[in-house]
């Protein structure tokens, strides 16, 4: 988990460096690709290996007009 945070922080720091150097387009690309894709991929991989808990899906209840509501 700390590795995911490290990769995300590094990507954001590199994004700031590109912004200071006067390349805002590259800074935006670095922030999007580095922080979102790399961090998201690492978290997805950790979850797939069982290092992160899987959350149970929450069943959705639909309210249909004209249908009687039942207490649950």
Closest Cα partner for 24 from 5, 32, 39? 32
* pLDDT at residue 26, as a whole number: 93
What pLDDT is recorded for position 19?
94
Give pLDDT, residue 4.
67
Reading the chain (72 residues) residue by residue, the pLDDT tens digits are 566 677 778 888 999 999 999 999 999 998 888 777 877 787 778 777 776 677 788 777 776 676 666 655
Q: How far apart are CA 63 and CA 26, in angstroms?
A: 47
């Amino acid at each position: 988990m700390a590795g995911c945070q490290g990769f995300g922080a590094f990507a954001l720091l590199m994004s700031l460096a590109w912004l200071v150097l006067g390349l805002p387009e590259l800074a935006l690309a670095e922030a999007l690709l580095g922080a979102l894709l790399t961090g998201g991929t690492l978290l997805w991989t950790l979850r797939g290996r069982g290092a992160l808990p899987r959350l149970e899906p929450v069943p959705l209840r639909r309210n249909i007009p004209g249908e009687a509501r039942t207490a649950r």
